[in-house]
Amino acid sequence: MVFHSTEIQVDVPEVKMEIIKKVREMKIFSSEARQKRQTIVFVPTMGFFHDGHLSLMKEGRKQGDLLIVSLFVNPTQFGPSEDFQKYPRDFERDREMAEGVGVDVLFVPEASEMYPVDHQTIVRVEKVTQGLCGKSRPVHFQGVATVVTMLFNIVMPHLAIFGQKDFQQLVTIRQMVKDLCMDVEVVGMPTLREVDGLAMSSRNFYLRPEERQAALSLYRSLKKAKDLLQKGERQAEKILKEIMEILLSEPLIQIDYVQICNASTLEDIHEIQGEVVIALAVYVGRTRLIDNLVYRSY
Indicate if the alpha-carbon torsion angle 55, 224, 172, 296 is positive or negative: positive
Residue 52 sits in the site that holds ligand AMP (CB under 6 A):
yes
**Shortest distance, CB of residue 88 to ligand AMP, whole angstroms?**
10
Assess 143 for contact with ligand AMP (CB under 6 A). no
Near ligand AMP by CB under 6 A: residue from 46, 177, 280, 281: 46
Closer CB to ligand AMP, 52 or 109, in the complex = 52
Compute the distance between CA of residue 264 and CA of residue 242 in angstroms, rounded to an integer. Answer: 24
Q: Least separation, in Å, of the C-beta of 164 and ligand AMP?
A: 7
Q: Is 106 in the site for ligand AMP (CB under 6 A)?
A: no
Sole window of 132-140, 160-168, 179-187, 230-238 interacting with ligand AMP (rule: CB under 6 A): 160-168
Residue 215 CB, shortest distance to ligand AMP, in Å, is: 13
Instruction: List binders of ligand AMP among 179-238 (CB under 6 A).
Output: 189, 191-192, 199-202
Q: 69 or 272: whose CB is closer to ligand AMP?
A: 69
Indicate the pairing of strand 253-262 with strand 275-284: antiparallel
Buried-state track 156-192, b at ≥16 Cβ within 10 A, e below 16: bbbbbbbbbbbbbbbbbbbbbbeeeebebebbbbebb
Instruction: Provide Rg for the chain, Cα atoms.
Output: 21
Is 294 in contact with 273 (CB distance < 8 Å)? no
Q: Measuring CA to CA, how many Å separate 96 from each of 11, 42, 54, 91, 214?
A: 23, 18, 12, 9, 32
Q: Does 166 bind ligand AMP (CB under 6 A)?
A: yes
Kindly state the smallest distance separating residue 270's Cβ from ligand AMP, in Å: 28
Does 70 contact ligand AMP by CB under 6 A? Answer: no
- Active-site residue, 158 included: no
Which positions ≥6 away from 8 have C-beta within 8 Å?
Answer: none
Stretch that binds ligand AMP, among 44-52, 148-156, 208-216, 233-241 (CB under 6 A): 44-52
CB-CB contact of 291 with 282 (8 Å) = no
Q: Does 163 bind ligand AMP (CB under 6 A)?
A: yes
Helices and strands (H, E) in the chain, number of each type: 9, 9
Which residues are registered as beta bridge partners of 290?
281
List active site positions: 53
In the complex, which residues of this chain contact ligand AMP (CB under 6 A)? 45-46, 52-53, 55-56, 162-163, 165-166, 189, 191-192, 199-202
